Amino acid sequence: MKRLGWIVSIGALAAMIGCADMSPRTQGTIGGAALGAGAGAGIAAISGGDAWTGAIIGGAAGGVAGNIRGR
């Protein structure tokens, strides 16, 4: 279990460092897609649907919204 914690921590650190030199629009797109995928998966799982389908649809919608808002 500790190994999984280290892997997640290193992944989160790499993501934060990698986003430092991105434009605000790109950061908005990635952030929106991540939030949309998480929300879509959660809503689909709660409502009895397929979580993977919810994540894909939510990620696409969140990416578009983040791109528009990230300007």
In a domain, 47, yes or no: yes
In a domain, 5, yes or no: no
Higher-confidence residue of 50 and 13: namely 50
Which range marks the domain in which residue 39 is found?
Answer: 25-71
In a domain, 20, yes or no: no
Quote the pLDDT of residue 31.
84
In a domain, 6, yes or no: no
Tell me which DSSP letter residue 70 carries. T
CB 50 within 8 A of CB 44: yes
Q: pLDDT-derived band of residue 60, with 50, 70 and 90 as boundaries?
A: very high
For 21, the 3-state DSSP assignment is coil
- In the block, tokens 């649809």 appear at 57
Average pLDDT over the chain, rounded to an integer? 83
In a domain, 40, yes or no: yes
Other C-beta atoms lying within 10 Å of the C-beta of residue 52: 13
Domain count, the chain: 1
